[in-house]
Chain A
Amino acid sequence: MTQAIEAAGAEARERGEPDWLATRREDAARAYASLPAPTPALRPWRYTDLTGLDFASFAPAHVPLQVTGTLAAGGYAGSLAAAGDREVVRTHLGSLLPPTEGKFLAANAAQWRDGVLVHLPRGAAAAAPIVVTLDASALAQAAIYPRLLIVAEERSEATIVLRLTSGDAPLVVIGAIEVIGGPASRVRLLIDDGWGGATSDFTWVRARLERDADLQVAALAIGGALFKQTVEVELAGEGATSAIRAVALGDGTQHFDFVTLQDHVAPRTTSVVEVKAALAGAARSVYYGITRVAAEAIGADADQANYNLLLSGSAKADSDPVLEILTANIVRCGHHATVGPVDQEALFYLESRGLDRRTALQLLVAGFFHSVVGELPLPGLAEQLDDRVAAKLATAAL
């Protein structure tokens, strides 16, 4: 991977990318070379062991991202590479996730090829969800670097669905998603992971929300071998609100590692975090999240929850919620965490209705996950999720 990254700038110029972008790739490649690999000695890497992954053996590959959905005049939903000469890209790409921050982000900034830009101009509302599809199922062993830039200008509104699939070949995914939430914008982002069993996904989502902006991020983590997702929201403008929701359904030796940051910078900002895992087999889930309330963020309202259902005796979950509150003038700042088996009374209730144990657990887990759908305007999503839960638990080690 190292050599390929060093060549990133030259290759970009050959492809005809603008000079500023090629230069940034070179900077990113240099950052990659000089930055240390993540160490398990420190959070947020304490819970995920990378020693089994030989990154050098994953050559960069590219998968075109398909985008469906139309926008009003002046809007854009399509290839990020093809939008390289747009001012909005130059201004915002890498502004929230700078390559100097860590080795993985540096690799993505140097290597991304197939990215997507969603640009919602002032007041634009996308009538239907914008669906971005990444299908890596044809790839042999490789690394891919998806990149998504969402720029929502004042009072714009969109629902964006990211559908990710891969095959059985070992795949490393290093993803970067930036969301620029302008004043009073409303963005809903669903990250729907249908990874194959040998995919390791390391994705960062970072958002900056201005006054009264609202962001909902929901992640469905059902496939994959290793899933480490970091979602960070800076509530930078007064009245901004965010919701981060995720569900993970594990079996075998699947490993899920969720990191969230709700950074209340401005007054009267609201954040909700709800990460839920249901784990069969010897699956493992970790949640590490920080709610930070700055001294200026008076009237902040933050609620952080992590619930884990252990469906087998070998499954394991850890929860590590952190609060950093620098003002006494808050509405609420709570955190909740549970780790345990399913409610035995609920299980008996369903069994007493004739459902065998597995069927009862399928129903209980699907119900447990329902809140992730939240207010996403995606008809049929709840039913699809029920079906996927049922399908996976039909064979899971309970």
Chain B
Amino acid sequence: MSDAILDVRGLEVSVTAHPEIKIVRGVDLVVRPGEIHALMGPNGSGKSTLASAIAGSPAYRVDGGQVFFKGEDITAWRPDQRARAGMFLSFQYPTAIPGVTMVNLLRAALKARRGADVPAREFLAEMRATLEQLKMDESFARRYVNDGFSGGEKKRAEILQLGMMRPELAILDETDSGLDVDALRTVAEGVNALRRPEMGILIITHYQRILDYIRPDVVHVLVGGRIVRSGGPELAQQIERNGYDPILQELGLTREPAKAGA
């Protein structure tokens, strides 16, 4: 599997502040260049926790298993090392950072990703091109990061960063949540516009509707912290029609109660 971008092996994750709360209970997942994987599951199944743990969030603790990124074991890496290596997490709830403009964030992020200062002119040209690609106004870049942004603006700001950072793995954590149909289409079209053959995408979603715009190659269903089923795009359509219950019943699983924030 040397060509895998992401190779998650037997990953077990708990909450750092409450190690007794085990959320991810042994996940295996391989994403290759150009592939789009959708990770679906009911509320509280551990989808966002898995995304955060792959990105290295200190809020979560890896209790077992490994994460390989481009062939390297990054399980112990800090989040910034992972990002510089080419991993990008689009947050479900992007954090507001008053006083820090999008421009300042993008410049610092680009400098970190490339390991060198990006000349101002070059940076501005790239930013303008990406803004245009995403049909975003330039005034957006002068605003404070996510501060006072609408739900749709926050998600577009994430995709703007994705576009500038040019990662090799993009994890989109519920990028569709809180968006109306038009905003969802704009964001999804943005993601499609930014696709590159060398980039893998992992889309975390509760609903199938974003997958109407971004077609997955593989769909995984996460229940109780484990991937219980993987299949093609038809699996997502089946979930859209019938919900998760038929899968749970088939597996002899009862649906677990939702965990806040998981």
A-side residues, CB < 8 A to B, are 343-346, 348-357, 359-360, 363-364, 366-371, 386
State how many angstroms separate the Cβ of B140 from the closest Cβ of chain A: 17
- Let me know if B100 is at the binding interface, CB within 8 A: yes
Contacts of A368 in B (CB 8 A): 98-99
A350-B97 contact, Cβ under 8 Å, with A355-B80, A355-B109, A359-B112: yes
A366-B100 contact, Cβ under 8 Å, with A353-B161, A354-B165: yes
CB pair B78–A351 under 8 Å, yes or no, is yes
- Let me know if B183 is at the binding interface, CB within 8 A: no
- Let me know if B21 is at the binding interface, CB within 8 A: no
Contacts of A346 in B (CB 8 A): 95-97
Find B95's partner among A345, A357, A366 (CB 8 Å cutoff).
Answer: A345
CB pair B59–A349 under 8 Å, yes or no, is no
Find A349's partner among B78, B91, B104 (CB 8 Å cutoff).
Answer: B91
Contacts of A366 in B (CB 8 A): 99-100, 104
Docked CA distance A351–B144 (Å): 17
Docked CA distance A271–B244 (Å): 58
CB pair B112–A363 under 8 Å, yes or no, is no
Contacts of A353 in B (CB 8 A): 80, 83, 105, 108-109, 112, 161, 165
- Let me know if B113 is at the binding interface, CB within 8 A: yes
Find A344's partner among B58, B94, B113 (CB 8 Å cutoff).
Answer: B58
CB pair B165–A367 under 8 Å, yes or no, is no
7 A/B residue pairs, CB under 8 Å, sorted by A: A351-B79, A352-B82, A352-B89, A353-B108, A353-B161, A354-B109, A354-B165
CB pair A357–B80 under 8 Å, yes or no, is yes
CB pair A354–B95 under 8 Å, yes or no, is no
Q: Which of B97-139 contact A (CB under 8 A)?
A: 97-100, 104-105, 108-109, 112-113
State how many angstroms separate the Cβ of B147 from the closest Cβ of chain A: 9
- Residue on A nearest B79 in the bound complex, by CB: A351
Contacts of B59 in A (CB 8 A): 344, 348
State how many angstroms separate the Cβ of A387 from the closest Cβ of chain B: 12
State how many angstroms separate the Cβ of A338 from the closest Cβ of chain B: 14
CB pair B80–A354 under 8 Å, yes or no, is yes
A352-B98 contact, Cβ under 8 Å, with A359-B108, A359-B112, A363-B108: no
Q: Which residue among B82, B100, B144 has the maximum number of chain A CB atoms within 10 Å of its CB? A: B100
- Let me know if B185 is at the binding interface, CB within 8 A: no
State how many angstroms separate the Cβ of A278 from the closest Cβ of chain B: 12
A349-B99 contact, Cβ under 8 Å, with A344-B58, A354-B80, A354-B83: no
- Residue on B nearest A362 in the bound complex, by CB: B108
Find A369's partner among B89, B99, B104 (CB 8 Å cutoff).
Answer: B99
Find A354's partner among B94, B97, B104, B112 (CB 8 Å cutoff).
Answer: B112
Docked CA distance A25–B156 (Å): 65
Which of the four size classes fits the interface of chain B? 20 to 34
Contacts of B161 in A (CB 8 A): 353
State how many angstroms separate the Cβ of A311 from the closest Cβ of chain B: 16
Docked CA distance A359–B111 (Å): 11
CB pair A367–B98 under 8 Å, yes or no, is yes
- Let me know if B56 is at the binding interface, CB within 8 A: yes
Contacts of B255 in A (CB 8 A): none
Docked CA distance A77–B49 (Å): 63
Docked CA distance A396–B239 (Å): 53
Contacts of A352 in B (CB 8 A): 55-57, 79-80, 82-83, 88-89, 91
Find B100's partner among A351, A354, A364, A371 (CB 8 Å cutoff).
Answer: A364
- Residue on B nearest A370 in the bound complex, by CB: B99
CB pair B105–A350 under 8 Å, yes or no, is yes
A348-B57 contact, Cβ under 8 Å, with A356-B112, A359-B108: yes
Contacts of B112 in A (CB 8 A): 353-356, 359
State how many angstroms separate the Cβ of B60 from the closest Cβ of chain A: 11
CB pair A363–B165 under 8 Å, yes or no, is no
Additional A-B contact list (9), CB under 8 Å, known A352-B88, A354-B80, A367-B98: A344-B59, A345-B95, A348-B95, A349-B91, A352-B56, A352-B82, A353-B108, A354-B113, A368-B99
CB pair A349–B95 under 8 Å, yes or no, is yes
Contacts of A344 in B (CB 8 A): 58-59
- Let me know if B84 is at the binding interface, CB within 8 A: yes
Docked CA distance A180–B146 (Å): 42
Contacts of A386 in B (CB 8 A): 104
Find A371's partner among B80, B95, B99, B104 (CB 8 Å cutoff).
Answer: B99
